Amino acid sequence: MKAMLIEEYGREYAFAESDIAVPEPGPGQVLVRVAGSSLNPIDNKIATMGSALAFSPDLPAVLGMDVSGTVEGVGPGVTRLALGDRVFGCPGGVRGLPGALAEFMVGDERLLARAPRCMDLTDAGAMPLVAVTAWLALFDKAGLKTGERLLVQGGAGGVGHLAVQLGVHAGAEVFATVSSPDKASVVEALGGTPIDYTTASVDDYVDEHTAGRGFDAVFDTVGGPVLDASFKAARMGGRVVSTNTRSSHDLGPLHAKSLSLHVVFMLLPLITGRGRERIGEILDQVAALTDADELAVLLDERRFDFRDIASAHRYWESGRALGKIGVSVSA
């Protein structure tokens, strides 16, 4: 099969098309004929940072965490999926688990689910990682409830725009920070209230939207100073969830308001092998909501073939993308 192998980590994006053997599914695994994938920020971090991340694959490697496609083979003990199923998920792209930038990949069936029936199968490859991350943050970590006020930091981003939709679905009053009119339009279209953080301070938007009380839950998808702003925006006893806590922070505001801080690291089940069933369960619910027209993924107008993955990385670096960058895998 054809695969795009990264041969050296760094911003040169040293991908090369190669002929490699079609993998055989092992116990609990399925073989997927790949239709689509997508480029996530974590894919870019692996490609550029390499061995600085403990979970980066040894070189040469097949990257690509998200996948959609059709089950072409099943290993021993497979019970959830069957030959011919249209599936999507996030079963590889880290150390020991080859990714989706190839015509075929194998994956643990627990990290996959049947894809939404209403979606083009290639497009479905843009949804898994961001949808699972948002679900874990809002429901497994923050315990979001109907009627609560939710603030999503970065509401038009890949994870953020799914979080806005899931918050609305849960019956919360959803607000989201944005930096441009285009991104504000995205948040409004998804049922949220946009907040231009370039013109309004944290105090300003807390006063305007919560009468100074603060938000019940804040989901930070950015990290750094935005996590500090999230502590400030949360109400007394509120909950803050973040996908990026690798910086040093003053936890004084967290203590003063008796906040709870939760971290989402969606890749842990892939890396450790523990908790993989939860990923498949969430994907089942994501597919059902998508088919019910309550959830959708925003795709950037540019799509890349997997053979042109280096250009996709450079496009992501440019900051011009709006929504997810889709990657097609064609025979």
Which three-class secondary structure string do you get for the chain? CEEEEECCCCCCCCEEEEECCCCCCCCCEEEEEEEEEEECHHHHHHHHHHHHCCCCCCCCEECCCCEEEEEEEECCCCCCCCCCCEEEECCCCECCECCCCECEEEEEHHHEEECCCCCCHHHHCCCHHHHHHHHHHHHHHCCCCCCCEEEEECCCCHHHHHHHHHHHHCCCEEEEEECCHHHHHHHHHCCCEEEECCCCCHHHHHHHHHCCCCEEEEEECCCCHHHHHHHHHEEEEEEEEECCCCCCCCCHHHHHCCCEEEECCCCHHHHHCCCHHHHHHHHHHHHHHHHCCCCCCCEEEEEEEHHHHHHHHHHHHHCCCCCEEEEECCC
Q: What is the pLDDT of residue 319?
A: 87
State pLDDT tens for residues 234-279: 999 999 999 998 889 999 999 999 999 999 999 999 999 999 999 9
Domain count, the chain: 2
Q: Do 200 and 319 reside in the same domain of the chain?
A: no
| Rg (alpha carbons) of the chain, rounded to whole number | 20
Q: Do 30 and 121 reside in the same domain of the chain?
A: yes
Token pair in block for residue 196:
């231009």
Identify residue 194 by its one-letter amino acid code.
P
Q: Do 243 and 134 reside in the same domain of the chain?
A: yes
Q: Is the pLDDT of residue 298 over 80?
A: yes
Q: Do 144 and 255 reside in the same domain of the chain?
A: yes
Which sign, positive or negative, has the C-alpha torsion 102, 103, 107, 112?
Answer: positive
State pLDDT tens for residues 121-178: 999 999 999 999 999 999 999 999 999 999 999 999 999 999 999 999 999 999 999 9
Domain that holds residue 113: 2-127+292-328
What is the domain-level CATH number for residue 50? Answer: 3.90.180.10
Q: Do 90 and 76 reside in the same domain of the chain?
A: yes
Strands 324-328 and 173-178: unpaired
Q: By C-alpha distance, which of 91, 87, 41 is closest to 65?
A: 91
Question: What is the chain's length?
Answer: 331
Token pair in block for residue 140:
């497994």
Q: What is the pLDDT of residue 331?
A: 56
Q: Do 88 and 142 reside in the same domain of the chain?
A: no
In a domain, 173, yes or no: yes
Average the pLDDT over 183-208 and give the result.
96
The most distant pair of C-alpha atoms in the chain lies apart, rounded to whole Å, by: 61
Q: By C-alpha distance, which of 70, 88, 104, 101 is closest to 279?
A: 88
Strands 29-39 and 324-328: antiparallel
Q: Do 296 and 310 reside in the same domain of the chain?
A: yes
Q: Do 145 and 192 reside in the same domain of the chain?
A: yes
Token pair in block for residue 122:
């290639």
State pLDDT tens for residues 31-48: 999 999 999 999 999 999
CB atoms within 10 A of CB 72: 16
Average the pLDDT over 178-191 and give the result.
95
The CA distance from 10 to 50, in Å, is 7
pTM, to two decimals? 0.96
What is the domain-level CATH number for residue 139? Answer: 3.40.50.720
